[in-house]
Amino acid sequence: MSSILTVNGLQKSFGGIVVARDIDLTLHSGRIVGLIGPNGAGKTSLFNLITGVVKPDAGTVALAGETLNKLKFHQRIRRGLSRTWQNIRLFSSLPVIDNLLVATHDYPGERLVNVLFRRAHLARHNRAARDKAMDVLGKVGLAGVAHDRVADLPYGQQKLVGVARALMGDAKCLLLDEPMAGVEGQSYAAMQRVVREVAEHGVAVCVVEHNVAFIRDLCDEGVFMFSGAIMARGSVAELIRDPQLTELYFGH
Amino acid sequence: MLDATIILQILWTSLATSSYYVLFAVAFALVLKVTRLFNFAQAAIMTIAFYTAFVAVQWLAWPAWAAFAAMMAVTLAASYLLERIGFEALRKRGVSVMFVFVFTFMVSEFVAYVAMLIFGTWPQTIFPTIFWPATLIGNIAISAWDLPAIATTIGSLAALFVFMRFTRVGQFMVGVADNPDLAELYGINKRQIFLAAMLIAGVFVALGMFLYGTRAQVLPQTALSLMLFAIAATIMGGIGNIAGAAITAVVLGIIQNVSILVISSEWQGFLLYVFLFLAIVFFPSGLRLPRRKVRFGTATREIAPEPVAPAAESKA
Amino acid sequence: MEYLYGVIIIVGLYVILATSFNLIIGYGGLISIAHPVFFALGAYASAVLSRDFGVPVPFAMLAGMVVAFVSSIALALPSLRVSGDYLLIASIGFQLGVLEVIKNLRFTGGPGGFTNIPPFLIRDLGRESYVLLVVVVMIAVILLVRWIARSDYGRAMSAMQDDELAYASVGRDAMWMKIVIFALGSGIAGLAGALYAHYFRFIAPEQFEILQSAAILTMVVVGGMRTTWGPIVGALLLEAVPQAITFLHLPPSVLGPIQGLLFTGLVLVFMFFRPQGLVPAVDVWRAPQARAGKAEEFRS
Instruction: Residue A66: give its domain's CATH number.
Output: 3.40.50.300
For C78, the domain range is: 2-209
Alpha-carbon distance A73 to A49, whole Å? Answer: 10
B304 touches chain A (CB under 8 A): yes
B292 strand-pairing partners: B303
Mean pLDDT confidence for C163-171:
95
Residue C28 placed within a domain: yes
Q: Are residues A149 and A215 in the same domain?
A: no
Residue C103 placed within a domain: yes
Whether A77 sits inside 8 A of C152 (CB atoms) is no
How many H helices and E strands in chain A?
10, 10
Residue A73 placed within a domain: yes
Interface residue of A47, A91, A107, A159 to substitute, partner C, most C CBs within 10 Å: A91
Please report the pLDDT score of residue C293 as a whole number. 53
Is it the case that residue A24 has pLDDT exceeding 90? yes
CB atoms within 10 A of CB C284: 18
What does the mean pLDDT of chain C come to? Answer: 88
Closest Cβ opposite residue C261 in set B89, B113, B225: B113
Q: Are residues A164 and A97 in the same domain?
A: yes
Q: Return the sign of the alpha-carbon dihedral for residues B64, B66, B70, B76.
A: positive
> For the segment B31-64, what is each residue's pLDDT rounded down to a tens digit?
999 998 889 999 999 999 999 999 999 999 999 9
> For the segment C81-121, what is each residue's pLDDT rounded down to a tens digit?
877 777 887 888 888 889 888 988 888 888 889 999 999 98
Residue A27 placed within a domain: yes
Domain boundary among A128, A147, A168: A168
Mean pLDDT confidence for C1-13:
89
ipTM value: 0.94
Number of folded domains that form chain A = 2
**Cβ(A220)–Cβ(A30) below 8 Å:** no
Parallel/antiparallel/unpaired status of strands A32-36 and A204-208 = parallel
C250 touches chain B (CB under 8 A): no
Residue C128 placed within a domain: yes
Q: Are residues A153 and A206 in the same domain?
A: no
**In the Cβ-directed half-sphere of B200, how many Cα atoms lie within 13 Å?**
27
Is it the case that residue A252 has pLDDT exceeding 70? no
Closest CA to C181 of C17, C282, C30, C14: C30
Q: Are residues A181 and A197 in the same domain?
A: yes
Is it the case that residue B308 has pLDDT exceeding 50? no
Residue A87 placed within a domain: no
All residues at 6 or more sequence positions from A162 whose CB lies less than 8 Å from its CB, including other chains: A84, A85, A88, A89, A90, A179
Residue C235 placed within a domain: no
CA separation (Å) from A157 to A205, C162, C286?
Answer: 21, 19, 20
**Minimum Cα–Cα distance from A90: chain C residue:** C166
**Cβ(B28)–Cβ(B245) below 8 Å:** yes
pLDDT category of residue C288 using cuts at 50, 70 and 90? confident
Q: DSSP for B143-160?
A: ETTHHHHHHHHHHHHHHH
Percent of chain A exceeding pLDDT 90 equals 76
Is it the case that residue A41 has pLDDT exceeding 50? yes
A152 touches chain C (CB under 8 A): no
Whether C170 sits inside 8 A of A130 (CB atoms) is no
Please report the pLDDT score of residue C290 as a whole number. 62
Alpha-carbon distance B178 to A94, whole Å? Answer: 36
Mean pLDDT confidence for C174-187:
96
Alpha-carbon distance A221 to A237, whole Å? Answer: 9
Q: Are residues A186 and A129 in the same domain?
A: no
Residue A104 placed within a domain: yes
Domain boundary among A135, A152, A168: A168
Residue A88 placed within a domain: no
For A110, the domain range is: 93-168
> B265 contacts in C (CB within 8 Å)?
none
Looking at per-residue pLDDT, the higher value among B26 and C207 belongs to B26
Residue C200 placed within a domain: yes
B88 class by beta-carbon count within 10 Å (0-12 exposed, 13-18 middle, 19+ buried): middle
**In the Cβ-directed half-sphere of C148, how many Cα atoms lie within 13 Å?**
25
Alpha-carbon distance A63 to A50, whole Å? Answer: 10
Q: Are residues A194 and A214 in the same domain?
A: yes
Please report the pLDDT score of residue C53 as a whole number. 94
Alpha-carbon distance A131 to B81, whole Å? Answer: 57
> For the segment C241-267, what is each residue's pLDDT rounded down to a tens digit?
777 777 677 777 788 788 888 878 888
pTM of this prediction? 0.85
**Cβ(C166)–Cβ(A90) below 8 Å:** yes
Using DSSP's 3-state secondary structure scheme, residue C225 falls into coil
Residue C253 placed within a domain: no
Q: Are residues A180 and A159 in the same domain?
A: no
pLDDT category of residue B283 using cuts at 50, 70 and 90? low
Interface residue of C284, C294, C300 to substitute, partner A, most A CBs within 10 Å: C284
CA separation (Å) from C83 to B31, B177, B237, C179?
Answer: 20, 21, 17, 12
Distance from CA of A85 to the nearest CA of B (A): 9
Q: Are residues A50 and A156 in the same domain?
A: no
C243 touches chain A (CB under 8 A): no
DSSP H/E element including A138:
helix A119-139
Please report the pLDDT score of residue C295 as a whole number. 44
> Which domains does chain B possess?
4-128+140-303 (1.10.3470)
Q: Are residues A197 and A161 in the same domain?
A: no
Residue C38 placed within a domain: yes
Q: Are residues A75 and A180 in the same domain?
A: yes
Percent of chain B exceeding pLDDT 90 equals 48
Q: Are residues A31 and A146 in the same domain?
A: no
CB atoms within 10 A of CB C245: 15
B300 touches chain A (CB under 8 A): yes
CA separation (Å) from C42 to C18, C48, C61, C138, C179?
Answer: 16, 10, 7, 16, 18
Alpha-carbon distance C257 to B121, whole Å? Answer: 10
Distance from CA of A207 to the nearest CA of C (A): 17
Domain boundary among A146, A168, A190: A168
Residue A86 placed within a domain: no
Number of folded domains that form chain C = 1
Q: Are residues A176 and A131 in the same domain?
A: no
Residue A85 placed within a domain: no
